[in-house]
Structure 1
Amino acid sequence: MTPNHAISRRALTKGALLGAAAGLLAATGAATAEARSSTHAAAAGGPLRLPAPTGPHPVGARTVHLTDPDRTDPWVGGAREVMLTVLYPARTVRGFPRAPQLTPAAAQVFADYAPHLHEGLPAPGTVDWGAVLTHGHVDAPPLPGRRPVLLHSPGGGDSRTLGTTLAEDLASHGRVVVLVDHPGDASQVELPGGMRTTVLFGPPDPATFRTMIDTRVGDLRFVLDRLGDLPLAAAMDLGRVGLYGHSAGGTAAVYATQDDARIRAVANLEGYLDLRPAVLDRPLLLFRTDGFESAARIEASWSGLAASRAELVRADHWAFTDYGALVPQLEAAGLVTPATRAALVGTGEPGRTRRALRRRVGGFFDLHLR
């Protein structure tokens, strides 16, 4: 399979790539986004907004680039690279800018991808995706002390910051959260050497899906190997590590946990487990929506597993991601239809869905990473 550096204009099959908002938290992009947020006016009367975290701590954000010389990238060859966003409780955020969800370059790529990834999302030029700010403050000093560590793997086709809202809330309650990008299957990842766009168009065949999951498992274990070398290692309690992931990321998180004693608990947010048998001796949360069209396959793949179970009601697959907050705003602005909103995130009240998600995932890790 060869890399794709240009954007395909053909419509993608529904479900081919599970989402696409992504970005690189960088100080240079933060200044641009801060300026845009005060001047850009969309149909809703202002830029899209991510909901604030609810914990007692402000959130710091740093980006990290890692290269694994021992693995070959299956999509483009050469040493495997990954990008991380590390979110953590901050001692202070005064004087440290809020990070954008997308850098200007990533926002431009995403604007072109979005309506092809999900039919009904706004056309290019309609939404200023680069104006969306996170609640993480770039390079803010960490709060003293060691905290539990959570690694997050996004859905297939997603870049890491589509999980920003949940991750920031988890960090604000006293955890270090590491968002992991998976270049090659992610819609776009901004690496130091340039933008990597997805090589996947159309639903992956079984062999490609296996490569995708095996690569993600390798990425997660490589990041686990390197946690002690990261700039924020002093803030991490490496004896209290958990994984969570959405869709393909949930699949990878469960399989990465098998045979890795460093991981104490794992949460799977609507990811299939039928690639191979899943046998776990650690706490497992299986979390699904009531609207996902592949519910029968999900349930069959989860059958027989000892796990805690939870369900988001009046919700659909991407309610686990930042689309849960962004798509209802697009609908209120008249930029997506009610049918598009229902197909992506469901019809439930966004705040109620978000509170249920945060409470269930946070509570699970509180219980098992004490």
Structure 2
Amino acid sequence: MIDTIGYACRLIARYWAIPALALLLLALLALWLTQARWSARMAPAIPFAMLALTFAAIALPALRAVGHFAASFQGAPATPVLTGLHPAAVFDVNLPAAGEQPALTVRLWRPANSAGALTRGACDVAFTQAPPDGLGDAPLVLYAPGWGGDRSENTRTAAMLASHGYIVVALDDSAPQIQFDFSSEAATAETTRRAGERLQLALRDALYALNRIQTCLGAHPAWRDKTDLNSVGFMGFSFGGAVAAEASLRDARIAAVANLDGGLYAQAAAQGARRPYLVLASDFDPPSARRLASPRRYEWQVLYDGVLNEAAHTRRLGGDIYLIRGAPHDAFLDSYGVGDQFKKWLLLPPARAEEIKHAVLLDFFETHLRGDTSVAAHARYAEVMTFSEMSSRLERIANAP
């Protein structure tokens, strides 16, 4: 969502102190080289003093900018940030077919007394061991991946939540693929309709998995008594965020939805997601004449219309929408920062992106699944832009031709 011009502007805004400091050093060098030409009556100390004061004023932000620049190359963190008290046990759970519902394999993380290797088997295997000592409750959170994604794409986020006492169940995106076509207004409308149909298949899998996990928990009282299955969280990335939002309108058990940079389809596109609803959005550029006149103009228009629609629903229903400055779409995945895409890192280092994601998600679920309202995690991060701070961008989108 960040084009070349927007990317350059953001780099200048983030690292302005580095070139400013370099220019100051060049100015000092020029003064030193030319001071022999000054008149004997002129005090060389005066311009040097003024430059020294300016140098001091820029040095601190320059050092911070250098730190950000260096941090951009550190790669993704090796361990989850904001780790809780409990080790996380992880299981691949096989769910049998039932009628038209095909068999599924989901990945389940839960708090444990000790961590272990990935275990595979039926659902009962995941809850054979008793809950860890000191665990008060164990809220359940579903995870839906992005388009074509799988249950492992946000492993560190799931493990982080499990360490804080959550049971996390992640699915694969196994619905049949469709062909995107944004070549015309009619083709765009048909693509949107077919994406909505595809969403229903992903939603079917998610709710089936929830039903099977609920049945499984019912056979293990030690875990069942710690999990309120009438108050379930649901988070999803990209297309998975749309699945999570739609689930809040289809199943009363879904009590809190976190959408990681996903749009809305089907019923949720018309009504908005059930509260409480959190949106973490990637950075985006307001519409430009160049984009709206390009061959991809229908695709861009869908993007802008989707941003406005989701913002309107979120504001109307009282949810929270936060834009993460410098974040590309994949900043909400474990894979962000892996490989040679250093251009993205310069705007938002992987470790920082993950810390923000984990802090805001944990705060959201602690508030709405456990009733702890003592923390406002987003306020700790300068990269987090609130809804009111986004208003000027949204206004530009609304007024675009």
Q: TM-score range with shorter-chain normalisation?
A: 0.5 to 0.7
- Which residue is equivalent to 2:80? 52
Are 2:174 and 2:202, in contact at CA under 8 Å, matched by a contact in 1? no
Q: How many angstroms apart in 2 are the aligned matches of 1:316 and 1:139?
A: 41
Aligned residue in 2 for 1:81: 103
User: Residue by residue, what CA displacement relative to the aligned partner does 1:4-44 show, whole Å, maximum 9, x if unpaired?
Assistant: xxxxxxxxxxxxxxxxxxxxxxxxxxxxxxxxxxxxxxxxx
Q: 2:132 aligns with which of 122, 130, 143?
A: 143
1:150-175 residue CA offsets vs partner (Å, 9 max, x unmatched): 00001111111101111111111111
TM-score, normalised to structure 1, is 0.61
Residue 290 (str. 1) matches residue 319 (str. 2) = no
Question: Mapping of 1:214-233 within 5 angstroms?
Answer: 214-230=200-216
Q: Which moved more, 1:138-147 or 1:163-172?
A: 138-147
Correspondence for 2:235? 244
RMSD (Å) for aligned C-alpha atoms: 3.2
Aligned to 1:134: none
Name structure 1 gaps, 5 residues minimum.
1-46, 72-78, 104-136, 186-198, 331-335
Larger gyration radius, structure 1 or structure 2: 2
Cα distance change, pair 205–48 in 1 and its aligned pair in 2 (3 A):
same
- The one of the two structures with greater contact order (alpha-carbon pairs below 8 A, sep at least 6) is 1
Aligned to 1:210, the other structure's residue is in SS state helix
1:358 match: 358
TM-score norm. by structure 2 comes to 0.56
* Greater share of helix: 2
Cα 1:202–1:138, aligned 2, differ >3 Å: closer, same or farther? farther
Gaps of 5+ in 2: 1-74, 121-125, 182-189, 286-299, 371-401
SS in 2 for 1:87: strand
Distance 1:281 1:208 in 2: 23
Of 241, 260, 278 in structure 1, the residue corresponding to residue 271 of structure 2 is 278
Secondary structure in 2 aligned to 1:323? coil
Matches within 5 A, 1:23-38: none
Residues 167-201 of structure 1, C-alpha deviations (whole Å, 9 max, x = no match): 1111111111111113245xxxxxxxxxxxxx556
2:98 corresponds to 1:69 = yes
Report which of the two has the higher share of strand: 1
Query: Does the CA-based 8 Å contact 1:267-1:284 persist in structure 2?
Result: yes
Please state how far the C-alpha of 1:347 moved relative to its aligned partner. 2.9
Is the Cα contact below 8 Å between 2:146 and 2:173 reproduced in 1?
A: no
Secondary structure of the 1:315 match is coil
Q: Secondary structure at the match of 1:264?
A: strand
Pairing 1:315–2:327 present? yes
Cα distance in 1 for partners of 2:141, 2:346 equals 27
Measure, in 2, the Cα distance between the counterparts of 1:247 and 1:297: 16
What is the alpha-carbon distance in structure 2 between the residues aligned to residue 141 and residue 316 of structure 1? Answer: 41
Aligned pairs, how many? 254
Q: 1:138 to 1:353 in 2, by over 3 A?
A: farther
Change (3 A) 1:225 1:346: farther
SS in 2 for 1:169: helix
Match of 1:256 in 2: 247
| Alpha-carbon distance between aligned partners in 2 of 1:278 and 1:160, rounded to the nearest angstrom | 28
SS in 2 for 1:222: helix
Q: Identity rate of aligned residues, in percent?
A: 26
Shift of residue 350, structure 1, vs aligned partner: 1.6
Alignment partners' CA distance in 2, 1:369 and 1:48? 29
Secondary structure of the residue that 1:229 maps to in structure 2?
Answer: helix
- The equivalent of 1:338 in structure 2 is 342
